[in-house]
Amino acid sequence: AHAALIARYGADWFRAAGTAAFPGTALMSVGGAVRRPGVYEAALGTTLASLLQRAGGPAEAPAAVLAGGYFGGWLPLPAAQHIPLSDEALRPAGASLGPGVLVLLP
C-alpha cells in the first residue's frame, strides 16, 4: 500500500512518520474485544496501548492480544501494552506485525 506513495513522495516523506528507530507507518486491522474494530494507520514505534486506545479501548477487561495474526503470537496484557509496533520490538516477545492484525482477547 505504501509503494506508490513512496515512489511519488520519496523515502524521506515516508520516514518522517514513526520513530527514528522504526520509521514509517503500517495499516493495522484491530479487532476482538475493542469498542471500535477497524483498520487504522499507525506510526511504527508507537505502543500497542496507543493503537488499542485509537480503537476505543477494550470493551472488556483484556487478558491478551494476538499480534501479527495467526502466525504471530499471543501477548499477555497489560505487560505487552508498552511494546512498540515493530517487528524488531515484537520479536523478543514471540510475535510480529505479520499482516498487520491485532485481536484483543477478553
The one-character DSSP state at 23 is B
In this structure, what are the phi and psi dihedrals at residue 66, rounded to the nearest 5 degrees?
-90, 115
**Which pLDDT belongs to residue 71?**
84
Topology of domain 3-105, per CATH?
A: Ubiquitin-like (UB roll) (3.10.20)
**Which pLDDT belongs to residue 1?**
60
| Range 6-12 average pLDDT | 83
Look-up of cell digits 505487560 = 79
**Which pLDDT belongs to residue 11?**
82
Q: Which residue has the higher pLDDT, 41 or 2?
A: 41
Q: What is the pLDDT of residues 14-55, one digit of tens each?
A: 787 877 788 888 899 999 999 999 999 999 999 999 999 999
Question: Where do the structural domains in the chain lie, given as residue ranges?
Answer: 3-105
